[in-house]
Amino acid sequence: MMYQVFHRCADSCARTGRVTTSHGTVDTPVFMPVGTAGSVKAVGPDDLEGIGAEIILANTYHLFLRPGHEAVRELGGLHRFMAWPKAILTDSGGFQVYSLATLRTISEDGVVFRSHLDGSEHVLDPERAMEIQEALGSDIVMAFDECPPYPAEREYVGRAVHRTTRWARRCRDKGVGGGQALFGIVQGGMFRDLRLKSAEALVELDFDGYALGGLSVGEDRETRERVIAETVPVLPDDRPVYLMGVGTPEDIVEAVRLGVDMFDCVMPTRNARNGTLFTAEGRITIKNAQYARDERPVEDGCGCFTCSRFSRAYLRHLFLAKEILAYRLNTIHNLYYYAQLMDDIRTAIRNDALEAFRDGFYEMRESKPVNS
């Protein structure tokens, strides 16, 4: 993997760049649609290419349990398995293990957990996480980490930071496959000194990129932005910075200003399946009665497949009738909205006009920045 910075914005810490992988290039800042089980829910690879996606995220934990990483390897790797020709990032499974609080035991060696599918017992450790992701053949591999809950006592978070560092070293020593890049994950909860300690230790291990983990786990937005602002400057300027599991359009605009390059979140796809659609003016709940005779597209001027052909009235009908097409059309629109948001952000950065873009972004919607 190669990362190049093209332009640094004059009025913020934002920058444009490009990640080059063996499956194509990714222009940053970028949003990665989430394909948990090797599929971005409700849409196909052709839909993703149509909205301009250059990279998607897949879930190590879920693919390990079903169909199994060895099966994926035997079938030619994840790209071939899911017919996706472009870049893939796989998480390490650490966050999913974190979410199984009542079904797992953490030790220095790794994690013993019970499958949420059938209760079977499994072991996941740094070496195993690397082996699984090598078998999947993803372009970007995440180190195995311990994600502490929020809120958590400082002593607990401190132990998680130390363990994450030791596990990161084991991941680096184990190594990844040819053509794969390895990212370290910064932990530390909401404690500034622990975050900095984690970041500094990972920088010494010299990863290909760095992620901010343990955020979007219940903390308020102001706290999250403080943590990002304090941590990013410690990370190498010549490596991509990835904010895991965040977020809303507002979260993305603010984090880009603070120097973040990569994002993922289930929000656009999950909201689509729940009937919530994103527009420049905010969110639309398509089931509302006001759209029953509305002939307009979801958003005037939107170039997505959904908006080019279908009305709000039709989308409302599909959703209320529980037609499968509703989930596909809603998802296409939401992912296109996110892709266009990132494109607009990159243009604003290149023009040294991100602050002006941000002002216009908030003028059109009800939400306001934390520091307004």
Range of the structural domain that residue 115 is part of: 2-266
pLDDT digits (tens, 9 = 90+) for 119-177: 999 999 999 999 999 999 999 999 999 999 999 999 999 999 999 999 999 999 999 99
In DSSP terms, which residues pair with 89 in a beta bridge?
57, 140
pLDDT digits (tens, 9 = 90+) for 235-250: 999 999 999 999 899 9
Catalytic residue list contains 91: yes
Both 259 and 192 in one domain: the answer is yes
Would you say residue 371 has pLDDT above 70?
no
Both 237 and 283 in one domain: the answer is no
pLDDT digits (tens, 9 = 90+) for 19-77: 999 999 999 999 999 999 999 999 999 999 999 999 999 999 999 999 999 999 999 99
> Which pLDDT band holds residue 102 (cuts at 50, 70, 90)?
confident
- Establish if 32 belongs to a structural domain: yes
- Active-site residue, selected from the candidate residues 47, 91, 139, 208: 91
Q: Is 166 exposed, middle or buried (0-12, 13-18, 19+ CB in 10 A)?
A: middle
pLDDT digits (tens, 9 = 90+) for 239-295: 999 999 998 999 999 999 999 999 999 999 999 999 999 999 999 999 999 999 999
**What separation in angstroms does the CA of 212 have from each of 64, 205, 239, 339?**
23, 16, 13, 22
Instruction: Give the rounded percent of residues in the chain with a pLDDT score beyond 70.
Output: 98
Pairing mode of beta strands 282-285, 30-32: unpaired
Start-to-end Cα distance in the chain: 38
Would you say residue 96 has pLDDT above 80?
no
Both 120 and 173 in one domain: the answer is yes
Both 154 and 218 in one domain: the answer is yes
Identify the CATH number of the domain in which residue 203 sits: 3.20.20.105
Of 217, 233, 266, the one marking the end of a domain is 266
Cis peptide before 126 (omega within 30 of 0): no
How far apart are alpha carbons 203 and 192 in whole angstroms? Answer: 16
Pairing mode of beta strands 55-58, 34-35: parallel
Nearest 5°: CA angle at 140, between 109 and 350? 135
Sorted by sequence, the CB contacts under 8 Å of residue 275 that are 6+ apart come out as: 285, 286, 287, 319, 326, 330
Q: Sign of the C-alpha dihedral, residues 248, 253, 258, 260?
A: positive
Both 259 and 122 in one domain: the answer is yes
Q: Supply the Cα-derived Rg of the chain in whole angstroms.
A: 20
Both 179 and 293 in one domain: the answer is no
Q: Indicate the number of domains in the chain.
A: 2
Would you say residue 372 has pLDDT above 70?
no
Residue type, 296: R
Q: What number is the average pLDDT over the span 310-334? A: 98
CA 186: distance to chain centroid? 15
Would you say residue 370 has pLDDT above 80?
no
Pairing mode of beta strands 104-106, 87-90: unpaired
Both 173 and 61 in one domain: the answer is yes
- Active-site residue, selected from the candidate residues 46, 220, 264, 359: 264
> Which pLDDT band holds residue 367 (cuts at 50, 70, 90)?
low
Both 162 and 101 in one domain: the answer is yes
Sorted by sequence, the CB contacts under 8 Å of residue 93 that are 6+ apart come out as: 59, 60, 61, 64, 124, 129, 132, 144
Both 125 and 195 in one domain: the answer is yes
- Establish if 252 belongs to a structural domain: yes
What tokens does 176 get?
């990844």
Of 249, 266, 283, the one marking the end of a domain is 266
Both 81 and 124 in one domain: the answer is yes
In DSSP terms, which residues pair with 283 in a beta bridge?
278
Q: Which pLDDT value is given to residue 368?
A: 62
Of 251, 266, 281, the one marking the end of a domain is 266
Ramachandran region, residue 275 (left: φ > 0; alpha: ψ -120 to 50; beta: rest): left
Do 7 and 16 touch, CB atoms closer than 8 A? yes
What tokens does 298 get?
């979801």
- Establish if 46 belongs to a structural domain: yes
- Establish if 314 belongs to a structural domain: yes
Summary mean pLDDT of the chain: 95
Both 186 and 307 in one domain: the answer is no
- Establish if 371 belongs to a structural domain: no
Catalytic residue list contains 264: yes
Both 338 and 196 in one domain: the answer is no
| 3-class DSSP string for the chain | CEEEEEEECCCCCCEEEEEEECCEEEEECEEECEECCCCCCCCCHHHHHHCCCCEEEECHHHHHHCCCHHHHHHCCCHHHHCCCCCEEEECCCHHHHHHCHHHEEECCCCEEEECCCCCCEEEECHHHHHHHHHHHCCCEEECCCCCCCCCCCHHHHHHHHHHHHHHHHHHHHHCCCCCCEEEEEECCCCCHHHHHHHHHHHHHHCCCEEEECCCCCCCCHHHHHHHHHHHHHHCCCCCCEEECCCCCHHHHHHHHHCCCCEEECCHHHHHHHCCEEEECCEEEECCCHHHCCCCCCCCCCCCCHHHHHCCHHHHHHHHHCCCHHHHHHHHHHHHHHHHHHHHHHHHHHHCCCHHHHHHHHHHCCCCCCCCC
